[in-house]
Structure 1
Amino acid sequence: MNDLHLQPATFTWRKEMPLADHPAKVHQWIRTINELKSVEEREKPDCVFFGAPLSRSSISPSGASEFPEYFRRSWKGFSTYNMDYDLDFSGMQVWDIGDIAMHGTDINLCHRFIRETSNAVHNHFRDSLIGGIGGDHSTTAMLVKGMKEIYPDKKIGILQFDTHFDLRDPSEQGPSNGTPMRQLIEAGTVEGKHIHNIGLHGFYNTKELCDYAKKKGVRYVPLRLARKYGLEQVVSEILNTLENEVDMIYVTIDMDVLDMTYAPGVPAATSGGMRPEELLEAVFLAGSHKKVKAFDIVCLDPLRDTIRQTTVQIGTSVFLTMICGLLSRGNNNDSG
């Protein structure tokens, strides 16, 4: 693990001793990098995640780099039992391996560190679900590229929950949070037809971007139609389509997919977006799919979250709901 660009998280919980066999709270349950120093090689975590605290690459002013810390601070407010699905995930192994070190000004160097860390984590934990806690959406391109380097012969599909296409031209916008999907298409990392976006709505994308999406075969269901057909049904059909077309699936959750009423803590808050319960149901379906190999949660700015950390609470719920989905797979975690 010394080959990773990782450093300890800026915040960790002091574990209460002695711990119960089945810890009731998330902050007692997740194993941190300090606890993992003596981990035996044979231990195989169900999920490994790390922070990617980068937001200098954001088009809109953003404090999304702060989310990994606020995410960890929120754990004490969550139990290890989800009443909606009657699932107790306290017996699962979920490891927090710290944050990727970031350069203060060099975005390209930060992106290199993210790609190389993703590469190393996917190589080391081939049987685990891999999670990235952003950071802005520019991190996604690097996380997927690092994954592809480990599985060069595998086709990767992307399920994207987002208000935006994120298909802006990198030659004009640079490696920003507005360009990750286009970066992946133009690099040949992911085929356009294997990207599915749910959450597009309103007046927040240009016709030029829509035309580019159609040209490259990017598939999308505007939120209005997804609600008309049934969001759960749409997500299930997308996962079934990807299951037949790709070897593994990457899920990226841009928190600006939520309506600004529920998620004030995003840099590009909009009206008319998803409700939290819609996103959580969709994330559970994604997490339960056997080909979902990795995910990220991006573009959540806790510095804008002025009312009881509303958006951070939802972001943490998204993460834990993904874990619940993983648990619902049973022992069949053969994601490629």
Structure 2
Amino acid sequence: MSNFHFLTPGQPAIFKDQYVTKVTECIKAYQNGTKADFGLIGLPASKSSISPSFAADAPKTIRNVLNAYSTYSGEKNKDYKGTSIVDFGDVLIHPTNLEETTERLYLSVKEMLQTNSCNKFIMLGGDHSVSFPSIRAFGEYYGRVGVIQWDAHHDVRNLEDGGRTNGTPFRSLLEGGFLNGEDLTQIGIRDFANAREYHLYVKNKGVKVYTMDDVDRVGIVPIIQKEIERLSQKVDIIYLSVDMDVVDQAFAPGCPAIGSGGLTSRELLSSITAAADHPKVKAMDIVEIDPSKDIRDITSRLAAHAMLRFMYT
């Protein structure tokens, strides 16, 4: 029996309210045979980023800030403390070989799916390059995959100028035959942030593109509802890919490619809620947060809140 009154060796000295359950209390490390409602995996790769980026640190930071959130939704008057989350940990990234890193990401997501442990999954990047191996794995496991991409950029840069980077994931998916153009929806594409060549490329591939002007005129929730319904008629599962630079720099200062004229934090959260409610939505990745550029974890906290909107629908 301990002789200490206020010391707890090996445990954090933090305040605990007996009536509050934090999201982090619902997360358990994966063990063979574990079953849970949601699977969580870190894809901490950012060495292929066009802009200097420490986005590889984002999975750790987002996990940490989850402790700022409770499991109770006042808007729905429902406590989700019974929702279980299993954490598969982070993929071990190769220190120098980018192609090897891509292969490790693909294999790790595939192995996670093969455990049959969970109904839905969250991938924490990393830069947007991680979406290529992740979506590829989901498509091979589930069948035809549809993707809704929140992004300021098309991310279909040519591969000749720099190989696979965080600007090429959807070109890699389209060119590799892992994703049909008509099965990709891009939302929040920002003015003066892309090249005409890439705008024409996605249009020619049949990609559905909604710019910020479309969001302003139509509203993001109606767009999401329309595209979820359209995709659900064609695909086996729907994958949400959230590049945080779709959000205005005022609400997401920790993105390597910040810009004005993007979504508000409320628009991001309401749109994820609208999408996650559909039964064919099985996965979401969150990418492009550099904690070293952030202010008081504003961007990571928004990403954590986006996770909650995905899980607690």
Question: TM-score, with normalisation over the residues of structure 1?
Answer: 0.86
Percent identity at matched positions? 32
Moved more, 197-206 or 168-177: 168-177
Look up the SS of the partner of 2:186 in the other structure.
strand
CA 126–44 in structure 1, closer or farther in 2 if over 3 Å, else same: closer
The alpha carbon displacement at 1:163 in A equals 0.3
CA distance in 2, matches of 1:142, 1:181: 10
Unpaired runs of 5+ in structure 2? 1-9
Unpaired runs of 5+ in structure 1? 1-12, 326-336
Higher CA-based Rg: 2
Q: What code does the residue aligned with 1:95 have?
A: V
Deviations 1:137-186 (A, max 9, x none): 000000011222223xx211100000000011123231111000110000
CA distance in 1, matches of 2:13, 2:278: 34
CA contact (8 A) 2:238 2:281 kept: yes
Q: How does 1:61-76 map to 2 (within 5 A)?
A: 61-76=52-67
Residues matched between the structures, number:
303
What does residue 23 of structure 2 align with? Answer: 26
What does residue 47 of structure 1 align with? Answer: 38
Correspondence 1:194 to 2:191: no
Q: How does 1:1-336 map to 2 (within 5 A)?
A: 24-31=21-28, 33=29, 36-37=30-31, 41=33, 44-125=35-116, 127-151=118-142, 154-305=143-294, 307-325=295-313
Deviations 1:5-45 (A, max 9, x none): xxxxxxxx95899x9998611122222x2xx44x6x3x531
CA distance in 2, matches of 1:253, 1:310: 16
Q: What code does the residue aligned with 2:41 have?
A: F
Look up the SS of the partner of 2:189 in the other structure.
coil
The alpha carbon displacement at 1:223 in A equals 1.6
CA distance in 1, matches of 2:159, 2:77: 44
CA contact (8 A) 1:252 1:297 kept: yes
CA 260–123 in structure 1, closer or farther in 2 if over 3 Å, else same: same
RMSD: 2.1
The alpha carbon displacement at 1:48 in A equals 0.3
Look up the SS of the partner of 1:241 in the other structure.
helix
CA distance in 2, matches of 1:300, 1:318: 13
CA 28–238 in structure 1, closer or farther in 2 if over 3 Å, else same: same
CA distance in 1, matches of 2:239, 2:144: 11
The alpha carbon displacement at 1:82 in A equals 2.2
The alpha carbon displacement at 1:311 in A equals 0.8
CA contact (8 A) 1:16 1:28 kept: no
Deviations 1:122-150 (A, max 9, x none): 12126521111000000000001122222
Moved more, 258-267 or 81-90: 81-90
Moved more, 80-89 or 278-287: 80-89
CA distance in 2, matches of 1:81, 1:238: 29
Q: What code does the residue aligned with 2:54 have?
A: G
Moved more, 289-298 or 120-129: 120-129
CA contact (8 A) 2:152 2:245 kept: yes
The alpha carbon displacement at 1:201 in A equals 1.7
Question: TM-score, with normalisation over the residues of structure 2?
Answer: 0.92
Look up the SS of the partner of 1:171 in the other structure.
coil
Q: What code does the residue aligned with 1:308 have?
A: R
